[in-house]
Amino acid sequence: MATPARLVGVGVFVVCGLLLFTVGLFMIGDRQMAFAKKFTIFTEFRKITGLQPGSIVRVSGAKAGAIKAIAPPNVPGGKFRVEIEIAEELHPLVRMDSLASIETEGLVGGGYLGVGSGTGASPTAAAGATIASKEPFDIADLMQQMGDTIVKVNDTIQKVNDTIDEMKGDVQRAVVSGADTIDVAHKLLVDVGGDVKKMTADGARLSADAAQIAETIRKGEGTLGKLVNDDELYRRATAVATQADEIATSARQVVEQARKTLEGFQSKDGPVEGMASSLKQTMDDARKAMSGFAETMEALKHNFLLRGFFKDRGFFNLADISPAAYRQGVLTSDGARHVVRVWLQASQLFEPAPDTPAAERLTAKGKAQLDSSIGAYLDGLATGVLMVEGYAQTGTRDGEYVRSRVRASLVRDYLIGKFSLTPQMTGVMPLGRDSAGSPGNEPWDGVALAFFEAKETAKKK
Amino acid sequence: MTAVRFDNVSKRFGALAVLDAVSFDIAKGTAFCLLGRSGTGKSVTLRHIVGLVEPDSGTVFVEERDIKGLSRRELGEVRTHMGFLFQNAALFDSMSVGDNVAFPMRRHTKLSDGDIRERARKKLADVGLEADYDKMPGDLSGGMKKRAGLARAMALDPSILLVDEPSAGLDPITAKEIDDLLVATKRGGTTLVVVTHNIPSARVIGDDFAVLQEGRLLVHGTLEALDASEEPLVQAFMRSQGGG
Amino acid sequence: MPSLSTIDRVGASVLALFEFVGALSTFGARACVEAFRPPYEPREIARHLYQFGYRSAPLILTAGMAIGVVLSMHTRASLERFGAEAMIPAGLAIALIRETGPLTAGLLVSGRVGAGIGAEIGAMKVTEQIDALEANAVDAFKYLAVTRIIALMIAMPLLTVLMDFAGIFGGYLAEAAVSGMSWSLYFERAFTYISYSDLIPATLKTIVFGYLIAVAASYLGFSASRGTEGVGEASTRSVVMGSMLIILSDVVLVKIIFFFYPAVSG
C-alpha cells in the first residue's frame, strides 16, 4: 500500500518533472515572445530559405517574436506569404517602409527573420499590414548578380571612357575654333587638362580592374568555400553598379557642361570667366565621382571573395613571403607572371660605410647601375612586382642572411625613393648564399632585381 | 443443498488428461478431502472451483451456479464467498502480513480502514500471528506463512474454504495446529475442500473423501468406505501415516 | 539442400514469433481497453509511480549529467573547428531534447524498471500470487499490468524532462570548466533554437516508450514459468524486448513527428 512517505516521493517527482517541463515551455515561449502582447504583420518572399513557423523574428536585431505561419504560393514563381508576430513594445520601430529579410545567426546558425527599423517619416505598420522584403541571399544568385554587375560596370566604364574621349575632343576643338579667346582657352586647358588626363587614366585603370574581376568570377576563383553567408559582396557589387551609373551621369553632365561652355567661347560674347569657373566646378564634381568609384573598386579588391584574385595581382603582403616559399616560386606558380632577373655584383654596388666599416652603403656607380637596370622594366612595374633578392657569400650562415637582407633593403629603399615605386609592390628577399640561376651558376655575392611581370603586359610589349 | 458440484468435468493440458469426466458433490458445511498422489489433478480440481481454470467439458457448480456461465463481475462475487489457501500460501510479497489479511476486506467491503485493521488483527490472532501484523512475508517461516495465508483466506468469512496441502512441508506440531484451525472453521459452518495426501490429517478434518488417480475418481465416500476399499492405491493411502 | 527438419524448425520459429507478436499485441490492446474500466486502482498506480519515477530519478539525473558532460565535450570539439563555440549550448540542448534525452531515458528505464516489472510479476506468477489475486476476486491483469503500464506512461515523460535538464546542467558544468560561462547565459543560449515542436513531441513520444516497456515486461512476467529460473528469464527478456521495442518504435515515432511537425526535420 502507498504510505504517506511514498506519496510525498511521488508528489516530489511529479511536481519536479512538470515544473521542469513548464520551465522548458516558458524558455521557448520567451524566445518566441509567446507571452508578450503582440501584433501581426505580413511579408512575402519568393524563397524562404531556412525559415519555418516558429522561427524567431528580430526587429533591428532585438528579439521581437516569431513566425506564426507560412502560406505557400499557389502559382509557380509566386511568393510565400509569411505571417509574423511582433511584440507590441517594438511596434514603433516597425514602419511601412521597414524591410524584412532572412538572416542567419553566425556562421552555422539557424535562420531568422530580420525586420529593419523603418524611417520616422513612414507611418507605423498597422496590424495586418504587409511590409516589403529583401529576397534571401544565395550564392548562386550572388554569382549571377556579380556577373551582371561586372557587365554593367564594364559598360559604364566604357561609356565613361567614351565620354571622356568625346570631351577631350570637344575641348581640343574648342581650342582650335576659339582662336580669339586663346588666352582664356589656354587657361581653361591648363585648369581642366590635368583633370581630364587623370580621369582618363583612372577610367583605364578601373576598366582593367573590372575586366579582371569579371575574369576571376568567370574562372570561379576566389575562396568561395569560405563564403557561407556574407552578402557584403553583394552590397558592394550593387554599390559599384550604382556608382558606375552615377559616374556615367556625372560624366554626361560634364560633357554637356563642357559643350555649353565651349559654345560660350565660340559665341565670343559669353561671360567667359564665369564659364570657365563653371567648367572647373563640373570637372571637380566628375573627379569626385570618379574617386568615389575608385574607392568602391578598392573596397571590392579587399573583399575576401576576390582576395585570391587580387593577391595574384600583387595585393599580397610581400613581407609575408618566406624565402622557402619564394624559392618554390610562389609568385609565379599561378602562371600569371614571368620573372626576369638582373644580377648585380656587390663589388659594383656597395662600399664600406666611412664611419662604420662593417656596414655597407651604395656607391654612386652602383646607383647609376641600378638606374639603368630598372629603366627597361619601369612600365611593367605598374602591374608587376619587383623583388630585390639579396645574396652574400662570406661569413657565418646567419651573417650571410643578415647581410643579404641589408643589401636588398638598401637597394629597395633607393629604388623606391628614386622611382616612386609602390612600396607594397616592391619587396626584399634575403636568400643568403643560395644563388641558384645566377650567371654561370656561380655563387653570387650581391643582389638580383627580380621583375615579376604580368604575362599579358609582357605580351603587349 | 450442495456447495460445490462437479458434473462430468474434463480438463486436458495439451496431451495430458488431468481430469477425465469427474463428478462429485460436496454438501454445505461438510469437509471434503481430495486425496491422491502428486500430479493427479487435485490442485486443478480446486482451481476449477474458484474459476481459475475452466473445464474443457462438463460443468462446475458453486452454490448451484455454473461457474463458466458467469460474467467477470458475477464470478468476482462468487469468489468473495470463497477463501483459498494456496500450497505455498501465496502471500503478496509487496505487502506486510497485516495488509495481506486486510487486502480482501479492503477490496470487497466498505469498512473503514480502522475497522479493517482491527479485523485483520483479529484474524491474525486466530492463527496465532497477532504479533506479526507489520512483518513482511519474506520474514516469516513456512508455517507462519501458511497460517497467515489461512488468515487471509478467512478474511471475508467465506462460506467455502479451499485448502491446498495444508500441512505440506510443516512440522507435525504446526500441521496439527492448522488442522485444528480448519476443524474449528468447519464447525463455524464453512464448507471445506481440502487437497491433501496426509491421511492422519484428513482423518481429523474430513467428512467425505475421494481419491483421484490419473484424472479419475477412484473412490468417493466416507472414511469407512475408503477403509473398506480394495483398490491397492486406496489401501496404500489409508495405511500411510505421515504427510508429504 | 536443407533437410526437412531444418525447414520444420525455421517454420516453427517463424510461427512462434508470430504467436508471440500476436499475444503481445493482444496483451497491449487489452491493457488499453482495461485502463478505461473501473476500478482504476489509483493507490497501486501511485505506488508504482513512486517505484518507477521517484526511485529512478537518481539514476536518470546522474546519467543525464554525465551524458551532458560528454555531449558538451563532443559538441565543443566539432563546433570549435567552425569557431562556433557560442553554439555549444544550443547544439547540446537540441541533441538532448530531440533524441538523446528521450532515447537514453527510455533505455535506462527499460533496464531498471522493465527488468523490475518482469521479475516482480514473474515471481508473483510462479508463487501463485497472481492466482491468489484472482481467487480474491481481483482482476490480476488490471491490478498488476494496467497499473504498471499507466504508472510508467506517466513516469517516462517526466523522467525524460529530468534527463534533458540534467543533461543541460551537465553540459553547463563542462562548459563552465572550460570557458567559465554563467549559468543564466548558458541556459538562455541552450534554448536559442528549441521550439515547441522540438520539446513537446520528443517528450510525449516517451509515453509510448513507457507503454511499450511496461507492456512487454508485464506480458513476459505473466508468461513466466518454471520457478525462479523463469523469473530471471522474464526479467532479462523484459530488458531486451523493452530496449528493442523502444529503438524500433523510435524510428517510427520520429517519422511520425516529422510528418506532423515538418518544421522539425528542416
Please give the C-alpha separations between residue A202 and each of A49, A156, A283, A296, C108, in angstroms, as whole numbers: 41, 13, 14, 13, 74
CB contact under 8 Å between B79 and C123, yes or no, is: no
Residue C22's region, left for phi above 0, alpha for psi from -120 to 50, else beta, is alpha
CB contact under 8 Å between C128 and B90, yes or no, is: yes
Q: Per-residue pLDDT for A21 more than 70?
A: yes
**And the C-alpha cell for C258?**
516529422
Do the Cβ atoms of A60 and A116 come closer than 8 Å? yes
Do the Cβ atoms of A118 and A93 come closer than 8 Å? yes
Do the Cβ atoms of C201 and C101 come closer than 8 Å? no
Residues 6 or more apart whose CB falls under 8 angstroms from that of B122 comprise none
Q: In this complex, is the C-beta atom of A35 within 8 Å of any C-beta atom belonging to chain C? A: no
CB contact under 8 Å between B86 and C128, yes or no, is: yes
Q: Considering only CA atoms, which of C215, C207, C209 is closest in space to residue C28?
A: C215
**And the C-alpha cell for C36?**
478505461
**Least CA distance to B152: which residue of chain C?**
C136
Residue C109 buriedness (CB in 10 A; 0-12 / 13-18 / 19+)? buried
DSSP state of A136: P
pLDDT in tens, A338-365: 788 888 888 888 888 777 767 788 888 8
CB contact under 8 Å between B93 and C124, yes or no, is: yes
Fold topology of A318-460: 60s Ribosomal Protein L30; Chain: A; (3.30.1330)
Mean pLDDT by 10 residues, chain B (244 residues): 86 84 88 83 87 88 86 87 88 91 90 91 88 90 87 90 84 84 88 86 86 83 81 78 48
| pLDDT mean over A149-178 | 59
Q: In this complex, is the C-beta atom of C93 within 8 Å of any C-beta atom belonging to chain A? A: no
pLDDT in tens, A275-304: 555 555 655 655 555 555 555 555 555 544
Do the Cβ atoms of B166 and B86 come closer than 8 Å? no
**Cα–Cα distance measured from residue A28 to residue B229, given in angstroms and rounded to the nearest whole number:** 86
**Least CA distance to B149: which residue of chain C?**
C132
| pLDDT mean over A411-440 | 79
> Cell 605598374 maps to which residue?
A382
Q: Considering only CA atoms, which of C166, C245, C263, C244 is closest in space to residue C208?
A: C245
Do the Cβ atoms of A116 and A98 come closer than 8 Å? yes
Query: According to the model, what pLDDT value does residue A307 have?
Result: 45
**Cα–Cα distance measured from residue A221 to residue B19, given in angstroms and rounded to the nearest whole number:** 92
Residues 6 or more apart whose CB falls under 8 angstroms from that of A274 comprise none
CB contact under 8 Å between B72 and C139, yes or no, is: yes
- Tell whether the torsion through CA atoms of B236, B238, B242 and B244 is positive or negative: positive
**Cα–Cα distance measured from residue C133 to residue C42, given in angstroms and rounded to the nearest whole number:** 17
Query: According to the model, what pLDDT value does residue C85 have?
Result: 76
> Cell 524611417 maps to which residue?
A119
Q: Considering only CA atoms, which of B210, B206, B205, B139 is closest in space to residue B176?
A: B205
In sequence order, the β-bridge partners of residue A44 are: A81
For residue C159, the distance in angstroms to the closest alpha carbon of chain A comes to 7
Smallest Cβ distance to C191: which of A17, A27, A110? A27
Query: According to the model, what pLDDT value does residue A193 have?
Result: 52
Contacts of C34 in chain B (CB under 8 A): none
Q: Per-residue pLDDT for A148 more than 70?
A: no
Query: According to the model, what pLDDT value does residue C206 have?
Result: 95
Do the Cβ atoms of A392 and A353 come closer than 8 Å? no
**Cα–Cα distance measured from residue A67 to residue A52, given in angstroms and rounded to the nearest whole number:** 7
CB contact under 8 Å between A21 and C157, yes or no, is: yes
Smallest Cβ distance to B88: which of C127, C133, C139? C127
Between A103 and A168, residue with greater pLDDT: A103
For residue B157, the distance in angstroms to the closest alpha carbon of chain C comes to 12
Q: In this complex, is the C-beta atom of A69 within 8 Å of any C-beta atom belonging to chain C? A: no
- Structurally, at CATH architecture level, domain A139-312 sits in Up-down Bundle (1.20)
Q: In this complex, is the C-beta atom of C54 within 8 Å of any C-beta atom belonging to chain A? A: yes
Candidates C129, C133, C231: best to mutate against B (most CBs of B within 10 A) is: C129
CB contact under 8 Å between C135 and B87, yes or no, is: no
Segments of chain C scoring below 70 in pLDDT: 1-3, 83, 262-266
CB contact under 8 Å between B90 and C131, yes or no, is: yes
**Least CA distance to B77: which residue of chain C?**
C137
For residue A7, the distance in angstroms to the closest alpha carbon of chain C comes to 7
Query: According to the model, what pLDDT value does residue A39 have?
Result: 87
Do the Cβ atoms of A431 and A389 come closer than 8 Å? yes
Contacts of C136 in chain B (CB under 8 A): 79-80, 84, 103-104, 107-108, 152
Q: Per-residue pLDDT for A319 more than 80?
A: no
Candidates B46, B71, B103: best to mutate against C (most CBs of C within 10 A) is: B103
Amino acid at A407: R
Amino acid at C92: L
For residue C197, the distance in angstroms to the closest alpha carbon of chain A comes to 9
The interface pTM score, or ipTM, of the predicted complex is 0.87
Query: According to the model, what pLDDT value does residue B116 have?
Result: 92
**Residue A191 — very low, low, confident or very high, per pLDDT cuts 50/70/90?**
low
CB contact under 8 Å between C137 and B75, yes or no, is: yes
Query: According to the model, what pLDDT value does residue C166 have?
Result: 95
CB contact under 8 Å between B107 and C127, yes or no, is: no
Do the Cβ atoms of B52 and C134 come closer than 8 Å? yes
Smallest Cβ distance to A24: which of C43, C49, C199? C199
Question: How many contacts (CB atoms, under 8 Å) link A and C?
Answer: 104
Smallest Cβ distance to B80: which of C120, C133, C137? C137
Smallest Cβ distance to C54: which of A13, A20, A109? A13
Contacts of C138 in chain A (CB under 8 A): none
Q: Chains contacting C with at least 3 CB pairs below 8 Å?
A: A, B
Helix (H, G, I), strand (E, B) or coil at B88: coil
**Cα–Cα distance measured from residue B212 to residue B44, given in angstroms and rounded to the nearest whole number:** 11
Smallest Cβ distance to B90: which of C47, C127, C139? C127
**Cα–Cα distance measured from residue A279 to residue A191, given in angstroms and rounded to the nearest whole number:** 9
**And the C-alpha cell for A2?**
502507498
Alpha helices in A267-349 (DSSP H): 272-302, 304-312, 323-327, 346-349
Instruction: Give the strand pairing for A360-362 and A99-104.
Output: unpaired
Candidates C87, C158, C188, C197: best to mutate against A (most CBs of A within 10 A) is: C158
**And the C-alpha cell for C182?**
554563467
Q: Give me the residue spans of the domains in chain A.
A: 17-134, 139-312, 318-460
Q: Which range is least confidently modeled, A71-85, A313-327, B81-95?
A: A313-327
% of chain A at pLDDT higher than 70: 53
CB contact under 8 Å between B107 and C128, yes or no, is: no
Amino acid at A147: G
Smallest Cβ distance to B86: which of C131, C137, C139? C131
Q: In this complex, is the C-beta atom of C191 within 8 Å of any C-beta atom belonging to chain A? A: yes
Query: According to the model, what pLDDT value does residue B166 have?
Result: 83
Q: In this complex, is the C-beta atom of C156 within 8 Å of any C-beta atom belonging to chain A? A: no
For residue C203, the distance in angstroms to the closest alpha carbon of chain A comes to 9
Chain centroid to CA B128: how far? 20
Q: For chain C, what is the largest distance between any 2 Cα atoms, rounded to a whole number of angstroms? A: 70
Q: What part of C 202-231 touches A (C-beta under 8 Å)? A: 203
Q: Chains contacting B with at least 3 CB pairs below 8 Å?
A: C
For residue A4, the distance in angstroms to the closest alpha carbon of chain C comes to 10
CB contact under 8 Å between A28 and C199, yes or no, is: yes
**Cα–Cα distance measured from residue A101 to residue A52, given in angstroms and rounded to the nearest whole number:** 14
Distance between the two ends of chain A, CA-based, in angstroms?
104
pLDDT mean across residues, chain A: 69
**Least CA distance to C57: which residue of chain A?**
A13
DSSP state of C52: I
